[in-house]
Amino acid sequence: MTLREVEIATDKDVSNAYLSQLENDKIAKPSPNVLHTLSTVYSASYEKMMEKAGYISPGQNAEGAQHGKAATCSVDNLSPDEERELLDYLNWYRSRSNRN
């Protein structure tokens, strides 16, 4: 996919300029909500992306991570939209976990 195609696939939640900065190492640690959005677009493992970004340790799933580490690392920098997205994801994740 081109950067523009990814931008469109994310409904412009992740801009092609942001993606370019990620590719060129100008952004070292994308936020968990960006990783979640990209994992959906790329059909990639969200946990693997969180691991690669350094939010969780290799081989450790989200349940084995230090409680709250990923969620609190950028809590002071969340926009209202990001907070809403994180809460939506948390609700989805918990509903998925409750089914298992």
Tokens representing 41 are: 């677009």
- Residue 72 is predicted with a pLDDT of 54
When divided into structural domains, the chain yields a total of 1
Q: Which CATH number covers residue 49?
A: 1.10.260
The answer, yes or no, to whether residue 22 has pLDDT greater than 70, is yes
Q: In whole angstroms, give the CA distance from residue 73 to residue 55.
A: 8
What are the Cα distances from residue 39, in Å, to 71, 76, 78?
17, 23, 19
pLDDT digits (tens, 9 = 90+) for 52-94: 888 888 765 545 444 455 555 555 566 778 777 887 888 788 8
Res. 51: pLDDT tops 50: yes
Q: What is the pTM of this model?
A: 0.58
CA 58 distance to own-chain centroid: 16
Tens of pLDDT along 23-50? 999 988 899 999 999 999 999 999 999 9
Q: Which domain holds residue 70?
A: 3-99
